[in-house]
Amino acid sequence: MTTFDYIVVGGGAAGAVVAARLSEDPNITVGLIEAGPSDENEPRALQLSRWFEMLEGEYDLDYVSVEQERGNSHIRQARARILGGCASHNTMIAFKTPREDLDSWVQAGATGWDAETLHPYFDRLEVPIQPVVPEHRNPFLADVTTAAQTALGVPGVGDWNDGDLTTGAGFFPMAYDPATGVRGSSSVWYLHPVMHVRDNLTVFLKTMALSIIVDDSRAVGIEVRASDGSTFEISATREVILACGAIDTPALLIRSGIGRASDIEALGLSPVIDLPGVGENLMDHPEGLVIWESTAPMTDPRVSDWDAGILARVDGENGFPDLMFHLPLMTFGVHAERLGYVLPENTISITPNVPRPKSRGRVWLESADPDVAPKIDYRYFTDPAGYDEAMLLKGVELARQIADTEPMKSWVVREVFPGPDVVGDELAELVRRTNHTVYHVSGTCRMGSADDPNAVVDPQLRVRGVEGLRIADASVFPVLTTVNPMVTLYMLGERAADLIRQDSF
Ligand SMILES: Cc1cc2nc3c(=O)[nH]c(=O)nc-3n(C[C@H](O)[C@H](O)[C@H](O)COP(=O)(O)OP(=O)(O)OC[C@H]3O[C@@H](n4cnc5c(N)ncnc54)[C@H](O)[C@@H]3O)c2cc1C
């Protein structure tokens, strides 16, 4: 069968939710097109503790960027090509979308995405979400969060998802089953229970969407390529929903002639509609790094290595955080080592990041060949006022203060990176040259009001100028969430399904 009422393209964090919810109605048919294989028999994807074995492996598209004007040019952007998408290889930190972020979305033209409307979707999610359970709490992390409370004057937090987001230090809410260690991906909790049961849901695995078929300004199907190299068309009688993520959704649109007309013509393609916002507004959380030699190895227990953190406010008195720190149990020191730093056997680290970055980057194509990777330019630290760089430097300063405070202080032998003597301009340059991604790329098909020429989708997630085409993934974020975005993608998938169902009556 190759004709469905709805086609969902991409079975990742959001797409899996959309396909599962739409197919709840046995009277409608849904085709889900996923470029990767199933995660059902892949223990590295199912067990959250094994996430790092997936990074830069056979499922990872592992995108690189163009040379960065100010930031790190050596970042490898993990994008998982497997059912569940990046939710099948990420670290499952699970924050409900903060009210303040949704206020920003509404201000940016995303009418109807206020907290009153979106927060009820959090309670509807099928995935298990709770703060790291007591038996999985690492004693070192407990010490760092205690030190942070003293050093930064922030409270200890039991559950960040209970009420509105506040500053504080503590173990994160995580999407996992504490009894089995199974990750809280949307594929495991939304698709696995139904994909072999529902006759009206067909999942095309290892099937890559090459282009959107548009007939008289209406999306009517997808041209795909199966794993044996054959190409064929899958038709949609009602709608096509794109959920390929913030890099691959704009790439698919541009390959289909939907984007800035001059860029599309330069690829030798015919523009279907001139949408200059496609690929623009790329956002990510730039992340810094401080490494110390530790008195002892970091031992278990642990859930995903990224189990705890700190949210602080440094700019003004508002109680809403503007600086975040992850407290990894594994040191990701590759960018320091590239510059010649030699890491001792036992290390600990803190990674500050800028939760509300002001720099904006871009995604585009230099070839219409679907096997040629899209071009990515993060443009980290290019905001004219220098906010992103100043905030990250503040984060490094505060990380050093935390490490100098008991009980963390007793774990520290010496600062290894950047090194205690590295300050001022030298520190700023080093922080820029070694910044990392938090893998939160988003915003490249941003949502906005129906009359905003740079918006790609309207508040109903409909692509401007093309009937029957929506987007439901991280590319539609008008503003990046202050915290880790995965749960927002789940909530967005739930709401997208509701918006689609409402329109079908
Ligand atoms: C290493 C890592 C760690 C992370 N840790 C966290 C965390 O702890 N907490 C958190 O909140 N967020 C985390 N994130 C971010 C989070 O996982 C992403 O923001 C989220 O998964 C994005 O969801 P999405 O639906 O937009 O896209 P994805 O989840 O990336 O899904 C896109 C899907 O589309 C498929 N696809 C792409 N192109 C095509 C095509 N042409 N044809 C068919 N299918 C296609 C892909 O195979 C994939 O399955 C992390 C990300 C990474 C990479």
Q: How do residues 282-305 score in pLDDT, each as one tens digit?
A: 999 999 999 999 999 999 999 999
Q: Distances in Å between the alpha carbon of 38 and those of 81, 128, 349? A: 10, 21, 34
Q: Does an H or E element contain 491, and which?
A: helix 486-503
Residues 121 and 495: their CA atoms lie apart, in Å, by 7
Across 134-157, average pLDDT: 98
Output the CA–CA distances (angstroms, integers) from residue 50 to 69, 174, 188, 302, in the order listed. Answer: 35, 15, 15, 11
In the three-class reduction of DSSP (H, G, I as helix; E, B as strand; rest coil), residue 81 is classed as: coil
Q: In this predicted model, what pLDDT tens digit does every residue of 137-148 receive, in sequence order?
A: 999 999 999 999
pLDDT confidence band for 505 (50 / 70 / 90): low
Q: Could you tell me which residue, 445 or 451, shows the higher pLDDT?
A: 445
Rounded-to-integer distance, Cα 253 and Cα 239, Å: 15
Q: Supply angle C-alpha 497, 498, 503, rounded to 5.
A: 100
Cβ(34)–Cβ(226) below 8 Å:
no
> Does residue 316 surpass a pLDDT of 90?
no
Neighbours of 505 (CB within 10 A): 4
If we measure between CA atoms, which residue out of 358, 332, 361 comes closest to residue 441? Answer: 361
- For atom 48 of ligand 1, the residue with the nearest CA is 85
CA 360, CA 377: separation in Å to the nearest integer?
9
Name the residue of 95, 242, 486 to mutate for ligand 1: max ligand atoms within 8 A of Cβ. 486
Distance separating alpha carbons of residues 209 and 34, to the nearest angstrom: 8
CB 164 within 8 A of CB 170: no
Q: Report the run of H or E that residue 264 belongs to, with start and end.
A: helix 261-266
- For residue 216, pLDDT beyond 80: yes
Contact 405, 150 (CB under 8 A): yes
Q: d(Cα 7, Cα 204) in Å, to the nearest integer?
A: 10
- Which pLDDT does position 247 carry in this prediction? 98
- CB atoms inside a 10 Å sphere around CB 333: 18
Q: DSSP state, 121?
A: H
CA of 87 from ligand 1 middle (Å) equals 6
Cis status of the peptide bond prior to 301, with omega within 30 of 0: yes
Structure-token match 């530790």, residue found: 294
| Average pLDDT score over residue span 182-191 | 98
Ligand 1, residues at Cβ distance < 6 Å: 9-15, 33-36, 55, 78-79, 81, 85-87, 89-93, 208-209, 243-246, 248, 252, 439-440, 473-474, 484-486, 489
pLDDT over 90 (residue 367): yes
* Pocket perturbation via mutation, ligand 1, pick of 61, 125, 244 by most ligand atoms within 8 A of CB: 244
Show Cβ contacts of residue 258 under 8 Å, excluding neighbours closer than 6 positions: 212, 214, 264, 271, 272, 273, 275, 278, 463, 466
Please give the C-alpha separations between residue 173 and each of 35, 160, 310, in angstroms, as whole numbers. Answer: 30, 7, 12
Rounded Cα distance between 305 and 172, Å, is 11
Residue 66 confidence (pLDDT) above 80? yes
Taken in order of first residue, the domains within the chain and their CATH numbers are 133-171+286-353+381-434 (3.30.410.40)
CB 256 within 8 A of CB 469: no
Cα 293 to chain centroid distance, Å, stands at 30
Q: Which amino acid is at 164?
A: D
Mean pLDDT, rounded, of the chain: 97
For this structure, is 119 an active site residue? no
What atom in ligand 1 is closest to the CA of residue 83?
A: 49
Rounded to the nearest whole angstrom, what is the distance from the C-alpha of residue 14 to the centroid of ligand 1? 8
Work out the percent of the chain whose per-residue pLDDT is above 70. Answer: 100
CA separation, residue 25 to residues 11, 22, 33, 76, 224 (Å): 19, 6, 19, 40, 26
Residues near 390 by Cβ (< 8 Å), separated by ≥ 6? none
**pLDDT (tens digit per residue) in 256-271:** 999 999 999 999 999 9
Q: Distance between CA atoms of 146 and 169, rounded to whole angstroms?
A: 8
> Which atom of ligand 1 is closest in space to residue 85's alpha carbon?
49
- How far apart (Å, rounded) are the C-alpha atoms in residues 493 and 88? 16
Structure tokens that stand for 155 in this block: 């409270």
Catalytic residue among 192, 335, 436, 440: 440
| Position 484 pLDDT exceeds 90 | yes
Structure tokens that stand for 244 in this block: 């390929």
State how far the Cα of 81 lies from the Cα of 38, in Å rounded to an integer.
10
Helix (H, G, I), strand (E, B) or coil at 136: helix
Cα angle vertex 213, ends 212, 217, to 5°? 105
* Per-residue pLDDT at 504 exceeds 90: no
Length of the chain: 505
Q: Residue 46 Cα, ligand 1 centroid: separation in angstroms? A: 15
Return the structure tokens found at 448.
């906005």
Q: Tell me the mean pLDDT in the region 368-390.
A: 98
Q: Choose which residue among 63, 90, 437, 445 to substitute to test ligand 1 binding: the one with the highest number of ligand atoms within 8 A of its C-beta.
A: 90
